[in-house]
Amino acid sequence: MPDSLVHALVCHPAAPDACVRAIGVSARREADGALLLGYRLDGDPGALRIPDRATALPPERLWAHTCFELFVTVDGERAYREFNFSPNGQWMRFDFDDYRQRIASPAGPAPQISLREPSRCLELSVRLPAELLPAGDLLVGLTAVVEHADGSHRYWALRHPSGQPDFHHRDGFALALKAPTP
């Protein structure tokens, strides 16, 4: 994980997760505006469905499997961006001009993604180039979808809004990340 504060994700209370002990995420901006993310899932990998590199998934449905996510916006803006990062190395970006109102995503560089699987955990590191992020100070939602071996899902987030899991809800954009200073 990048050297920064680790933020603990919380499993949505509607479906507790007996297979995952914890998910932590570190997030920090680099001098060039890039964002470094480090996701660490501690639990029983044998009880989870973890996509492997040999398995290509439909890019628009990475979130339907074990997947680490980032939601990002700028304070005061309605538009936001969603990134999905699969343990198999695939990624996807979705742009929205308002709550769940998807718009076309312009082309951009690919993030750098690496995976480590030490004993009883999964570590995914991501470097998102500045070109993929809104300019300025960011508000982000850090989330994860965990697929169990039985096909059920658990939803983890830095903050859950009330009701059903909803990573798009603005209350989940709970972490402020300052733009780098020149």
Q: What is the mean pLDDT of each run of 10 residues along the chain (182 residues)?
A: 77 94 97 97 91 85 95 96 96 97 94 90 96 96 97 97 93 95 79
Per the DSSP assignment, residues forming a β-bridge with 82 are 71, 94
The pLDDT value recorded for residue 8 is 98
Provide the 8-state DSSP code for 168: T
The pLDDT value recorded for residue 2 is 44
- Distance from C-alpha of 154 to C-alpha of 20, rounded to nearest angstrom: 9
Q: Quote the tokens at residue 109.
A: 């560089």
CA angle 25, 75, 109 (to 5 degrees): 60
Do 48 and 66 touch, CB atoms closer than 8 A? yes
The pLDDT value recorded for residue 127 is 98
The pLDDT value recorded for residue 26 is 97
Q: Quote the tokens at residue 94.
A: 């979705």
Structural domains for the chain: 6-177 (2.60.40.1190)
- Distance from C-alpha of 63 to C-alpha of 117, rounded to nearest angstrom: 20
The pLDDT value recorded for residue 117 is 84
The pLDDT value recorded for residue 170 is 96
| SS3 (DSSP) at 20 | strand
The pLDDT value recorded for residue 145 is 97
